[in-house]
Homo-oligomer: A and B are copies of this chain.
Amino acid sequence: MAHSDLFAQRTKAMKASEIRELLKLLDQPDIISFAGGIPDPAHFPRDAFAKAMSLALDETSAGTSLQYAASEGYGPLRTWIADYMQTLGVTCDIDNIIITAGSQQALDYLGKLYLDKDDTALVEWPTYLGALGAFNAYEPRFDRLNAGENRTPDEIQNAARAAGGCVKFSYLSPDFANPTGKTLSRTERLAVLAQADALDCAVIEDGAYQALRYAGDDVPSLLALEFAQKGTLEACRTIYCGSFSKTLAPGLRVGWVVAAKPVIAQMVLLKQAADLQTATINQIAVNHVARSVFASHVETLRGVYGARLAAMLAALDKHMPDGVTWTKPQGGMFVWVTLPKSVDGRDLLEKALDARVAFVPGSAFYADGATTNTIRLNFSMSDEAKIDLGIARLAEVMRKAFLQ
């Protein structure tokens, strides 16, 4: 039998993540890789997790930790998250929170919750590759958020209707976005909210990197700004996706969503049908670790990653040839580099691998794949000396490539 003859239409839009396929090739120790987007395992809070798992599996707790649990998530962890959201300026209670298997799963469930075939999702250009992947399963149309081309909300909505659906949500990562490292100003955030009000659509705020600021001042999250405008979470259209993957550890797959109760209630039903619940023991362990070391551990990470970001920006300044520009992030894990128009990041990668340095070509981060002269550099996995050496190698590759 030809198995693929039976597959649903949606599978035609789903292809392997270039990044994850690429990462499989990068186990060679002499390559300096700026290709990943993962935390440095040398800085996981191992002791805290070992203690937490030991507590979760002691005689009084193991029966709960190893058993099924409620689809909405572990109450004490949701309480910790409610307190954490309060520090971000959002007042909520645990019925405004669902625990997901990382924030990637939140994106899948939000696609499932909102998108009928041919509905429109507004996304940044470029945007998080994993969001495009998650939403693609529901066969949407992507349109450009904040196109800078002065389209009115009516024009955007009319284009969505002409495609057979309507605008269901904007998706964006306002802090230290993957892949660009950019942060939206307060004014830009208020414009996103005003546009969503005009379109009457939801806003999905990806807060995965929000806690990882190394310089500059915090800007309130979209949800905090909307909460301040409207006075109650129930009136807010913003849906905030949080994650412990970048602050504590990704291997437990624990994230969360904060939104108005009708949204959370429907997500609970989706989750019940899709995987019943996030692993009980992981939620209990994360609750222990968050309560014991979250603030101090994030402070440690800010020091470690902040130094690496500074090293990368200094190395780019020092080594890069003319015609190359890059973002100046204040947090997160990525710097976004724009090459001369004639240079394709994918071609450059081939040459870079020969020179034992790696990165991710930028085209995959565009919903239309059309822009090819960009690359993403990750700085979280390399120490400062390696960063300088790797950027020097990359600059040398560029000089040769530009001459061709």
Interface-central residue, A16, A39, A59, by most chain B CB under 10 Å: A16
Q: Is the CB of B68 within 8 A of A42?
A: no
Q: Which of A46-54, A171-179, A304-312, A370-378 contacts B (4 or more CB under 8 A)?
A: A46-54
Q: Shortest CB–CB separation between residue A159 and chain B, in angstroms?
A: 18
- Of B6, B57, B134, the contact of A168 (CB 8 Å cutoff): B6
- Of B102, B138, B201, the contact of A276 (CB 8 Å cutoff): B102
Number of copies: 2
Q: Is the CB of A275 within 8 A of B102?
A: yes
Interface membership of A161, Cβ < 8 A:
no
A 104-162 contacts with B by CB, 8 A: 104-105, 108, 112-117, 119, 130, 133-134, 136-138
A 31-62 contacts with B by CB, 8 A: 38-39, 41-42, 44, 46, 49-50, 53-54, 57-59, 62
Residues in B neighbouring A192, C-beta threshold 8 A: none
Q: Provide the bound-state CA to CA distance between A57 and B69, in Å.
A: 24
Known A116-B9, A250-B66: A16·B272 in contact at CB below 8 Å:
yes
Interface membership of A101, Cβ < 8 A:
yes
Interface membership of A266, Cβ < 8 A:
yes
Q: Shortest CB–CB separation between residue A194 and chain B, in angstroms?
A: 14
Residues in B neighbouring A102, C-beta threshold 8 A: 275-276
Q: Shortest CB–CB separation between residue A105 and chain B, in angstroms?
A: 4
Residues in B neighbouring A168, C-beta threshold 8 A: 6, 8
Interface membership of A300, Cβ < 8 A:
no
Residues in B neighbouring A114, C-beta threshold 8 A: 6-8
* Identity of the chain B residue whose Cβ is nearest the Cβ of A252 in the assembled complex: B279
Residues in B neighbouring A314, C-beta threshold 8 A: none
Q: Provide the bound-state CA to CA distance between A20 and B114, in Å.
A: 24
Q: Is the CB of A133 within 8 A of B8?
A: no
Q: Provide the bound-state CA to CA distance between A195 and B16, in Å.
A: 34
Known A113-B11, A137-B270, A266-B11: A41·B67 in contact at CB below 8 Å:
yes
Q: Shortest CB–CB separation between residue A99 and chain B, in angstroms?
A: 12
* Identity of the chain B residue whose Cβ is nearest the Cβ of A261 in the assembled complex: B3
Interface membership of A10, Cβ < 8 A:
yes
Q: Shortest CB–CB separation between residue A295 and chain B, in angstroms?
A: 19
Residues in B neighbouring A20, C-beta threshold 8 A: 70-71, 272
Task: For the A-B complex with A16-B269, A68-B250 known, give 15 more contacts whose Cβ atoms are closer than 8 Å.
Answer: A6-B201, A7-B266, A38-B67, A41-B62, A44-B66, A46-B62, A50-B62, A66-B249, A101-B253, A101-B275, A104-B275, A104-B276, A105-B274, A253-B279, A279-B279
Q: Can you spell out 10 A-B residue pairs with CB atoms less than 8 angstroms apart? A: A4-B262, A8-B168, A24-B70, A46-B62, A65-B251, A66-B249, A108-B273, A117-B117, A130-B273, A137-B270
